Chain A
Amino acid sequence: MRAAALTGLGSHRPAHRADNTAIAAAIDSSDAWIRERSGIVTRGVAASDESVVDMAVSAGGKALASAGVDPTDVGLVMVATCTLTHAVPGAAARVATALDLSNAGALDLGAACAGFTYGLALAADAVRCGSADNVLVIGSEKFSDILNMDDRSTSFLFGDGAGAGVVGVCDVDGISKPVWSSDGSQSDVLRTVGSPPLLEMEGQAVYRWATSMLPGFARATCERAGITLEDLAAVVPHQANLRITESMVRALKLPPHVVVARDVIDSGNTSAASIPLALDRLRETGEVHRGDSVLLLGFGAGLTAAGQVVRCP
């Protein structure tokens, strides 16, 4: 069987930013309360004509350039998103056409905030089996289309953006087998309602689930990869809320050399886009380097979770 690894990353961060004061008034809140509650300081907000597909194309094109992969050599593109306001048509075929991926199959992936890590797992298997030589995995979200800005539990948490990774053939495998799980009994804690859809969340239930499962999830994912927390250069958990991340860091007693992604501070929760955005940010800032082992932990609505250890491209 062939070996698969991440070979490139790309990001799209909307030019327009919204700070907390712009959001706080509608929910009778304040910058201080939002920071204390979530760690978030600002987030990207896409323009009215900047769609989920547009952001996916931007991030995907950068990832292909970063990997040095010709668009005609991409065999499959997956777009993980939960913020399309219409279920049909999906985003992936439009992304494939816009990027001239003339030989690529295309599908959307619905696993909410865990979408990118599910996509990476499936992409790695597709490459290993020979179904594709290169797979483009994109997470793209436009929460500004589905947020109720009067809702105190969600309005300040979510942001827009897209992140992408290319999975290709390598000599040594660089994507561990995933640890994944689901719990449909709690499907109502994070959901959209109405048409057009608006997001609703039982914040305390989601927080409880995330903080209670993350430490074990992180350890199990490392174990599956055959490494320990000591071997990691970085951890990139889904950027849900800084307090969820800090709770996990505290519970795991992470060694001081392990870098922890905290992109949520500047991006908010961008669901399927958050892990590639945060990983690419760590790479840009020089906090992780090519070849480093990075633990990715996706978790979110469904409830769903998927994680793996990757070698940084």
Chain B
Amino acid sequence: MTYKENHVTTANYPDLLAGLTEIVDEICGSETAGKVALDATFDSELQIDSLTMVEIVVACEERFGVRIPDEALEQLKTVGDAVQFIANAGVAA
């Protein structure tokens, strides 16, 4: 499936959300992965600190073939923010 810039729909989200959940599971464990939802905040709800966030972003870049610069990283407050960013960045999943 190919995601293209400006063609983001909610129908695309489940695949990205599932991929992101797998990444969180691998890096943080199943307990944290179980709390992943579009409206969940990385810091307060998932208890993911800034260094772990860097690892998640690096894993997302590799998995989804996108570049997430440091400036963007700071704006990713919720899981939904990350999914939206990856989708907008144009994904070849």
Q: Are A211 and B54 in contact (CB under 8 A)?
A: yes
Interface 0/1 of B33-67, CB less than 8 Å to A: 00000000000000001110011011001100000
Q: Are A37 and B26 in contact (CB under 8 A)?
A: no
Query: Is B70 among interface residues, defined by CB-CB distance under 8 A?
Result: yes
Query: Is A212 among interface residues, defined by CB-CB distance under 8 A?
Result: yes
Give A261 to B64 CA distance when docked, in angstroms: 31
Residues on the B chain within 8 Å of A144, using CB: none
Query: Is B91 among interface residues, defined by CB-CB distance under 8 A?
Result: no
Residues on the B chain within 8 Å of A250, using CB: 26-27
Give A212 to B59 CA distance when docked, in angstroms: 8
Residues on the A chain within 8 Å of B51, using CB: 37, 204, 207, 243
Residues on the A chain within 8 Å of B54, using CB: 204, 207-208, 211
Name the CB-closest residue of B to A205.
Answer: B70
Residues on the B chain within 8 Å of A208, using CB: 54, 57-58, 70
Q: Are B70 and A211 in contact (CB under 8 A)?
A: no
Residues on the A chain within 8 Å of B57, using CB: 208
Of the four ranges (under 10, 10 to 19, 20 to 34, 35 or more), the interface on chain A belongs to 10 to 19
Residues on the A chain within 8 Å of B26, using CB: 250
Interface 0/1 of A148-181, CB less than 8 Å to B: 0000000000000000000000000000000000
Query: Is A247 among interface residues, defined by CB-CB distance under 8 A?
Result: yes
Give A211 to B70 CA distance when docked, in angstroms: 14
Q: Are B55 and A211 in contact (CB under 8 A)?
A: yes
Residues on the A chain within 8 Å of B55, using CB: 211, 247
Number of interface residues of B (CB under 8 A): 12
Give A208 to B73 CA distance when docked, in angstroms: 11
Interface members, chain A 5-40 (any B CB < 8 Å): 36-37
Residues on the B chain within 8 Å of A247, using CB: 27, 55
- Which of A204, A205, A250 counts the most B-chain CB atoms under 10 A from its CB? A204
Give A100 to B80 CA distance when docked, in angstroms: 65
Q: Nearest-CB distance from B15 to chain A (Å)?
A: 22
Residues on the A chain within 8 Å of B62, using CB: 212
Interface members, chain A 188-221 (any B CB < 8 Å): 204-205, 207-208, 211-212
Interface members, chain B 1-57 (any A CB < 8 Å): 26-27, 49-51, 54-55, 57
Give A204 to B54 CA distance when docked, in angstroms: 7
Residues on the B chain within 8 Å of A205, using CB: 70
Give A237 to B62 CA distance when docked, in angstroms: 22
Q: Nearest-CB distance from A212 to chain B (Å)?
A: 4
Give A207 to B54 CA distance when docked, in angstroms: 8
- Which of B26, B54, B62, B70 counts the most A-chain CB atoms under 10 A from its CB? B54
Give A36 to B47 CA distance when docked, in angstroms: 13
Q: Are A204 and B70 in contact (CB under 8 A)?
A: yes
Give A243 to B50 CA distance when docked, in angstroms: 12
Can you spell out 25 A-B residue pairs with CB atoms less than 8 angstroms apart? A36-B49, A37-B49, A37-B51, A204-B50, A204-B51, A204-B54, A204-B70, A205-B70, A207-B51, A207-B54, A208-B54, A208-B57, A208-B58, A208-B70, A211-B54, A211-B55, A211-B58, A212-B58, A212-B61, A212-B62, A243-B51, A247-B27, A247-B55, A250-B26, A250-B27
**Closest 10 CB pairs between A and B?**
A212-B58, A208-B54, A207-B54, A247-B55, A211-B55, A211-B58, A243-B51, A207-B51, A204-B54, A208-B58
Interface residues of B (CB under 8 A from A): 26-27, 49-51, 54-55, 57-58, 61-62, 70
Apart from the given pairs A208-B58, A212-B62, A250-B26, 12 other A-B contacts in the complex at a CB distance below 8 Å: A36-B49, A37-B49, A204-B51, A204-B70, A207-B54, A208-B57, A208-B70, A211-B55, A212-B58, A243-B51, A247-B55, A250-B27
